[in-house]
Structure 1
C-alpha cells in the first residue's frame, strides 16, 4: 500500500487521530460507570497508562483500536507499506512489554478490542465487571 498523501497532508491527518477518549473507550466507560464500577482514567505511573484502572481490584483495562494495535495483524500486514508495518509492529511490541510489566506487578490486564465494543459493548463490560468483582472479593478475603 503506497501512501498517496504528501508529508504535510499525512501530518495533518495523523494529528486528528486521538489516543485518548476514543468512541469505543467512551462507550465502555459510560456503561461501566452505569453499573456502579468506579475507576481512574489513564493513570500515571502504570505501564501503558491503561484506559480504565480499578486500583483496589488491581485490574487494568485497555480499549484498543483494531488497526493501531494490530488485531489479527499477521493476516493483513503484507498489505501495508514498510512504514505502517513497522509502526504497528512497534505498537504490538510496546503493548506486550506493558502487559508483562503490569502482570509482574500483580495487575490483571484486560484488553478490549474496538470490534468487540462495536459488536457487543455490554458483553465487554460483563468481562470487566466479572474481573473487578472477583478480584475485589479475593482482596477482601486476603485482608481477613
Structure 2
C-alpha cells in the first residue's frame, strides 16, 4: 500500500473504468466491441488486438474481484444491486422485467462487481486498518 491517502475519488475512478470496460464490450446502443466484430472481416487485426486487450483487462478484473470479494462477497454485491434496481424501478414506476431493463441491470451489476473488487481492499484498509496481501509461492 502506498503512503498516499485513499479517497472516494479513487472509488469513482475505478467505477468509471469498470463501466467503460463493461459497456465497451457490449451495450444495447449498437456501438460496442461485439457490434464492431459482427460487422464483418474488415480491420481483422485491429479487432483481434483490441479483443485480446479487452480479454486481458476483463480477466484481470475478474481475478482481482474473485480474489478479494470471494464468492460470498460477489453474491452480496449482486444482491445489493438487485435490491437497488428493484427499489429504483418501484420509485420510477418502470418494469424491471422488460428485456432492455434486465440487460442494463446485468451490465451495471457486472460493473459494480468489478468496482467493488477493485476498491474493497483500499476502503477496508482506510476504514479498518486491515491490509490485504496475497502470498506468492516461489
Which has a greater percent of helix? 2
Judging by fraction of residues, say which structure has more strand.
1
TM-score over 0.5 (shorter chain) = no
TM-score (norm 2): 0.32
Looking at both structures, which has the greater relative contact order when contacts are Cα pairs under 8 Å and sequence separation is at least 6? Answer: 2
For normalisation by structure 1, the TM-score amounts to 0.31
